[in-house]
Amino acid sequence: MSFHRDPTPYARSWAVFGQRLRASRRKRGLTQRQLGTLLGYDHSLISRWERGKREPLGDAVQRLDEVLETGGVLASVLDEALTDRPNGHTGGHTGGHTGGHTASFVSSPSYLSSGSYPSAGSGPSFSPSVPQQILFSPMPADTSAVAGELAESHNWPSRLPNAELTCPLHGGARCPVPDFTYVFAALARCPETFPHRQDADLIHGLTALLECLVVRNRTELAQSDNAWVERVLRMVVGWAEQVNASGHPPTSQLSLSAHYAMLAGRLRRQCGQNAAAMAWFTHGMRWAEACGNVVVRASLLGELSMLARAEHDVPSTLSYARVLSALTPDRGWTRTLSHLYQARGHALTGDHGECTEQLSLARRQFEILGPRDREESPCLDGSAGLMLLEATAAGALRDLAVSTGDRSVARQAVAATHTALEHLPEGMLPSRLLLTLRLADSYACAGDRDAAREAASPSLRSASLTTRALITQELDGLRLRLG
């Protein structure tokens, strides 16, 4: 099997789609701005679609067909282009292409019900259909050195749960974790050599490795672990296939796969590779549903909402956020996050009433979170939870100020950002840089340009050098507001 694929068919698929989209829009007598207004998108996104530079997210293709009254032409053109590729690979199509139509998690009722994995012995059925060059990323050259540095600098745990992740096999039990050399020795082998059964030591070790990778991504500004995460993810999925084929349910392997897919998607989104991020998030949803892990499914819906917002896809932003709350109506943490993500979506449209109402609901729900909420969503626990709440609220208020020009809203964003910075845990360098730029931008939106420059000045060099897309987007917005 070759792991290198010619990217030309993938690019050509989107170019053909873009040409047909442009022709359909012109036939209806619409400008890009008018079409964007009808769909709730920025006109620049319409332009990128037509030039084949960006793939539509979620159910955008179906909505384009409906608005332009094409009778499904755009979806069929895209399907024909993608299904002509070798082995039927979709190249990471962001709408979740399934061979005969473009699917959307928002509109699919199966993602609101509990799932089950295929019956034992049904053969491999978990492999992702993402591009080969993404799926088969090479491990770092000096594996042993990187492994030792990772384990040593990020406090390889002796037991689970450590800070966040519980054991996929035993839940909250205090499970022993093997030495990191055992885990990396296993990863040095082929997935086919993994045991065709549950292996507690390997499960515990892979969970500990995941947490170390999560912590490193949260604390180190320049570090990127795409190669590590995606290679380990591929091996865990292969292990799930073997366990399933041997007649045993691969519940813990699929749960780990969903967790690794969530981190893989975050890393790709941080690099601005939103199509690849969507591919990982959607596959993570599939694995989480297959093993019945509702907590990971809810977390992934939040990631999908944030990804859609980054694409200025307001309808999908709101849809994912609402599904998040509907998925687990008995969980306070999902309602809190749902309100926050809805607030950020409404902010992009300048809907002051809905945005501020959703923020108010989020804050009230946050105040009454219970022990199960804090256990299932540690990011909302204690001071770190208050930081996340106020940082997200600050983003929504800043976006609302940009949309409406309301300086009083911008001053609220300033206050919320200050609160978030006060509660930011030590060592979270990427978050500190992002919030510092958000503070400066909020000052700029409030008309205080001197305060904006003073707040941003110590961080401009680091922000200019980073490759993290979320930080560069904050910097671009600040530069725009300061002229």
Range name among 66-80, 353-367, 400-414 with the lowest pLDDT average: 66-80
Q: What is the arithmetic mean of pLDDT over 440-448?
A: 97
Domains recognised in the chain with CATH numbers: 10-104 (1.10.260.40), 105-292 (no CATH)
Q: What is the arithmetic mean of pLDDT over 184-194?
A: 73
- How high is the pLDDT of residue 153? 58
Q: Which of 219, 214, 217, 163 is nearest to 375 (CA)?
A: 163
- The proportion of the chain whose per-residue pLDDT surpasses 70, expressed as a percent, equals 77
Task: Please give the C-alpha separations between residue 141 and each of 69, 146, 147, 182, 431, in angstroms, as whole numbers.
Answer: 52, 9, 11, 19, 29
pLDDT tens figures, 237-263: 888 888 888 888 899 999 999 999 999
The residue written with tokens 């309301």 in the block is 406
Range name among 137-141, 171-175, 347-351, 402-406 with the lowest pLDDT average: 137-141
pLDDT band at 12, cuts 50/70/90? low
Q: What token pair was written down for 202?
A: 């390997």
pLDDT tens figures, 284-331: 998 998 898 999 999 999 999 999 999 888 988 999 999 999 888 899
Q: What is the arithmetic mean of pLDDT over 20-44?
A: 82
pLDDT band at 375, cuts 50/70/90? confident
Q: Is the pLDDT of residue 389 over 90?
A: yes
Q: Is the pLDDT of residue 464 over 50?
A: yes
> Highest-confidence range of 98-102, 191-195, 215-219, by mean pLDDT?
215-219
Q: Is 171 helix (H, G, I), strand (E, B) or coil?
A: strand
Q: What is the largest CA-CA distance in the chain?
A: 67
Q: What is the arithmetic mean of pLDDT over 179-192?
A: 77
Q: What is the arithmetic mean of pLDDT over 367-380?
A: 92
- Residue 225 to residue 41: CA distance in whole angstroms: 32
Q: Which of 304, 394, 408, 303 is nearest to 344 (CA)?
A: 394
| Residues in contact with 238: Cβ distance below 8 Å, sequence separation at least 6, in sequence order | 127, 191, 192, 194
Task: Please give the C-alpha separations between residue 417 and each of 240, 395, 455, in angstroms, as whole numbers.
Answer: 43, 8, 12
pLDDT band at 388, cuts 50/70/90? very high
The larger pLDDT score, comparing residue 185 to residue 133, is at 185
Q: Is the pTM of this model over 0.85?
A: no
pLDDT tens figures, 48-104: 888 877 767 656 787 888 889 888 888 887 666 544 443 333 333 333 333 333 333
pLDDT tens figures, 123-153: 334 554 433 333 344 444 455 555 666 666 5
Average pLDDT over the chain, rounded to whole?
80
Q: Is the pLDDT of residue 209 over 80?
A: yes
DSSP code per residue over 456-483: HGGGHHHHHH---HHHHHHHHHHHHHT-
Q: Is the pLDDT of residue 474 over 90?
A: yes
- How high is the pLDDT of residue 101? 30
Give the angle 433-346-309 at the CA atoms, nearest 5°.
Answer: 50
